[in-house]
Amino acid sequence: MSRAEVDDVRVVSGPREVRRIWTFGLFRSELGITFRRWRTLALLGVLAAVPILVGIAVKIETSDGSTLGGGGEGGGPAFIAQITNNGLFLVFTALAATLPFFLPMAVGVVAGDSIAGEASAGTLRYLLVAPAGRTRLLLVKYATTMTFCLVATLVVALSALAVGALLFPLGEVTTISGTRIGFGEGLLRALLIALVVAASLIGVAALGLFVSTLTSSGIAAMATTVGLLITIQILDQIPQLHAIHPYFFSHYWLSFADLMREPVYWDELVKNLGLQGLYAALFGSAAWARFGAKDITA
Q: What is the pTM of this model?
A: 0.85
pLDDT bin (cut points 50, 70, 90) of residue 71 is: very low
Contact 15, 131 (CB under 8 A): yes
Least confidently predicted of 14-28, 89-103, 185-199: 14-28
Q: What is the pLDDT of residue 75?
A: 47
Q: What is the pLDDT of residue 130?
A: 57
User: What are the structural domain ranges in the chain?
Assistant: 3-292
Contact 112, 226 (CB under 8 A): yes
Nearest Cα to Cα of residue 115 among 215, 220, 4, 3: 215
Considering Cα of 289, then 145, then 223, then 105, what sign does the dihedral take? positive
Contact 269, 277 (CB under 8 A): no
Per-position b or e across 176-186, b if 16+ CB within 10 A of its CB: beeeeeeeeeb
- The fraction of the chain above a pLDDT of 90, given in percent, is 51
Dihedral class, residue 266 (left if φ above 0, else alpha if ψ from -120 to 50, else beta): alpha
- The fraction of the chain above a pLDDT of 70, given in percent, is 81
Does the N-terminal peptide bond of residue 263 adopt cis geometry, omega within 30 degrees of 0? yes
**H or E segment and range at residue 107:** helix 102-121
The predicted model gives 93-104 an average pLDDT of 92
The predicted model gives 66-74 an average pLDDT of 51
The predicted model gives 276-283 an average pLDDT of 96
Q: What is the DSSP letter of 173?
A: E
pLDDT bin (cut points 50, 70, 90) of residue 84 is: confident
Least confidently predicted of 113-127, 231-245, 262-276: 113-127
Length of the chain: 298
CA distance linking residue 270 with residue 149, whole number of Å:
19
CA distance linking residue 136 with residue 291, whole number of Å:
11
Q: Per-residue pLDDT tens for 114-173?
A: 888 877 776 666 666 655 578 888 899 999 999 999 999 999 999 999 999 999 999 888
Q: For residue 56, give the 3-state DSSP assignment.
A: helix
Q: Per-residue pLDDT tens for 178-233?
A: 888 999 999 999 999 999 999 999 999 999 999 999 888 888 888 999 899 999 98
Query: Does 245 have pLDDT greater than 80?
Result: yes
Cα angle at 274 between 269 and 278, to 5 degrees?
A: 150
Query: Does 31 have pLDDT greater than 70?
Result: yes
The predicted model gives 83-92 an average pLDDT of 89
Q: For residue 174, give the 3-state DSSP assignment.
A: strand
CA distance linking residue 71 with residue 66, whole number of Å:
16
CA distance linking residue 298 with residue 278, whole number of Å:
32
Q: What is the pLDDT of residue 64?
A: 63
Q: What is the pLDDT of residue 7?
A: 45
pLDDT bin (cut points 50, 70, 90) of residue 92 is: very high
